Amino acid sequence: MTRGSLLVDHIGELVTNDGRDGDPLGIRRDAALLVEDGEVAWTGPARHAPAADRRIDAGGAAVLPGFVDSHAHLVFAGNRAAEFAARMAGERYTGGGIRTTVGATRAASDDDLRATVGRLRAEMLRQGTTTVEIKSGYGLNVADEARSLRIAAEFTDDTTFLGAHVVPAEYADRPDDYVGLVCGPMLAAAAPYARWIDVFCERGAFDADHARAILACGQAAGLGVRLHANQLGPGPGVRLGVELGAASVDHCTHLADADVDALAGSETVATLLPGAEFSTRSPYPDARRLLDAGVTVALATDCNPGSSYTSSMPFCVALAVREMRMTPAEAVWAATAGGAAALRRTDVGRLTPGARADLIILDAPSHLHLAYRPGVPLIRQVLHNGVPR
Ligand code: NIG
Ligand code: FE
């Protein structure tokens, strides 16, 4: 027995994501899991469970890896509830409201921004999210992008520089100058706090040439590539991401056959964000087309005050199953192992020896209940780094 060890015992259904025996979820029944030093040390049949200092009786419930939310915009001020109400009354989402949030974010104090990130991070943890990526993108000047990332880095290692979210109002008539700012002083100030670089590649935001230039600068500064692509209409984003070896292209709502083919032959994950389609009343991405082509799919919340103000991965799983024809197993995999792949992480998104002991004990006997019982708080307990939260 190791001091400080913790046994999670009497697990009715353990989702390991070990991919063995042709079952991507790697489900084990009547299982137990041993935590040592914040990591999974052992999993196996409950009847062979080793002794441990402490024990949690899961009471026959399902245990899953903590959710990996690989796409979130948490550093912002204010909200855009009125914009949401206008959309529900028939208006279209264009991304134009981003500038409203930029104004509010620039005017906010560090402590206000930190408090918002902390509140949303806590909300996520209560809903089973143990890893989150956090983007900048509502500062859009050197000082406010750098401080957004500095604050984001207090909460996660997966921070993303999104200075190229939209062209801010003061550069509206000289977008080339803004791209120069992003690639020059803004990147220099942001890079020490960022792991990734992202661009909103879309009509009305950044075109393929601008996106390519910005992503290349980010790569040269040592950042990994991800991007917002094909959200509001067809476009070059997905293929550009694949060409640059992006870890993930996100949204993927409007895809041509060539986009799907490019993804299928690549290491780039397609991250689907159904909260955005829900909240903008838009058609959902065609998850089946991607899965059937062999593309790796992740699910994430896109949590932001404009297009998707949800922090709930269970909600996204339920939407993916009901609205996007993913099976519950595919959706749970995409929300855990898929998110880890989108962040190129091997330490999370699975419950196998050596993984971080990030796990969820459900108030239900099976992962199926996440989609079967939508809107119900099924997260009974969360362990983060092996610590009950
Ligand atoms: O992922 N598409 C660009 N960015 C966000 C929306 C940001 C906003 O509306 O404030 C998104 O949907
Ligand atoms: Fe986004």
Mean pLDDT of the chain: 97
C-alpha dihedral (55, 61, 62, 66), degrees to nearest 10? -50
Using one digit for the tens of pLDDT, what is the confidence trace for 217-263?
999 999 999 999 999 999 999 999 999 999 999 999 999 999 999 99
Q: Would you list the domain boundaries of the chain?
A: 6-66+350-388, 67-342
Q: What's the pTM? A: 0.98
CA-250 nearest atom, ligand 1: 1
> What are the φ and ψ backbone dihedral angles of 242, each rounded to 5 degrees?
-60, -45
Q: Hey, whose CA ends up nearest to atom 3 of ligand 1?
A: 200
Residue recorded with tokens 């402490």: 54
Mutate to test the pocket of ligand 1, among 200, 230, 273 (most ligand atoms within 8 A of CB): 200
pLDDT for 1 equals 52
Class of domain 67-342 as given by CATH: alpha beta
Which residues have C-beta within 8 Å of that of residue 215, sequence separation ≥ 6?
Answer: 197, 199, 225, 227, 240, 244, 246
Query: Residue 3: is its pLDDT beyond 70?
Result: no
Alpha-carbon span 123 to 158, nearest angstrom = 18
**Is residue 290 within 8 Å of residue 326, measured between CB atoms?**
no
State the average pLDDT over residues 86-97. 95
- Ligand 2 center to residue 200 CA distance, Å? 8
> What are the φ and ψ backbone dihedral angles of 129, each rounded to 5 degrees?
-90, 120
State the CB neighbour count (10 A cutoff) for residue 346. 12
Would the annotation count 44 as a binding residue?
no
Q: Hey, whose CA ends up nearest to atom 1 of ligand 1?
A: 302
State the average pLDDT over residues 94-98. 94
Alpha-carbon span 204 to 376, nearest angstrom = 38
pLDDT band at 129 (very low <50, low <70, confident <90, very high): very high
pLDDT for 145 equals 98
Alpha-carbon span 27 to 367, nearest angstrom = 10
Using one digit for the tens of pLDDT, what is the confidence trace for 307-320?
999 999 999 999 99
pLDDT for 20 equals 85
Percent of the chain with pLDDT over 70: 99
State the average pLDDT over residues 77-104. 96
Structure tokens of 196? 């990734």
Mutate to test the pocket of ligand 1, among 70, 73, 226 (most ligand atoms within 8 A of CB): 73
pLDDT for 43 equals 98
pLDDT for 2 equals 54
Q: Does any ligand 1 atom lie closer than 6 A to the CB of residue 226?
A: no
CA-166 nearest atom, ligand 1: 3
pLDDT band at 154 (very low <50, low <70, confident <90, very high): very high
Residue recorded with tokens 């964000």: 273
- Ligand 2 center to residue 111 CA distance, Å? 23
Closest to 10 (Cα-Cα) out of 47, 42, 35, 36: 47
Which residues have C-beta within 8 Å of that of residue 329, sequence separation ≥ 6?
Answer: 24, 25, 367
pLDDT band at 22 (very low <50, low <70, confident <90, very high): confident
Alpha-carbon span 277 to 282, nearest angstrom = 5
State the average pLDDT over residues 165-191. 98
Q: Does any ligand 1 atom lie closer than 6 A to the CB of residue 130?
A: no
Higher pLDDT, 309 or 22: 309
Q: Hey, whose CA ends up nearest to atom 8 of ligand 1?
A: 306
SS3 state at 246: coil
Sign of the CA dihedral running 279, 100, 74, 333: positive
CA 69 vs. chain centroid, Å, equals: 3
C-alpha dihedral (370, 374, 377, 379), degrees to nearest 10? 10
- Ligand 1 center to residue 17 CA distance, Å? 30
CA-71 nearest atom, ligand 1: 1
pLDDT for 36 equals 97
6-66+350-388 and 67-342 agree in CATH topology: no
State the average pLDDT over residues 280-302. 98
Using one digit for the tens of pLDDT, what is the confidence trace for 44-53?
999 999 999 9
State the average pLDDT over residues 152-178. 98
pLDDT for 326 equals 98
- Ligand 2 center to residue 339 CA distance, Å? 14
Using one digit for the tens of pLDDT, what is the confidence trace for 188-211?
999 999 999 999 999 999 999 999
Q: Hey, whose CA ends up nearest to atom 9 of ligand 1?
A: 306
pLDDT for 258 equals 98
Is it true that domain 6-66+350-388 has CATH number 2.30.40.10? yes
- Ligand 2 center to residue 95 CA distance, Å? 10
CA angle 326, 198, 170 (to 5 degrees): 125
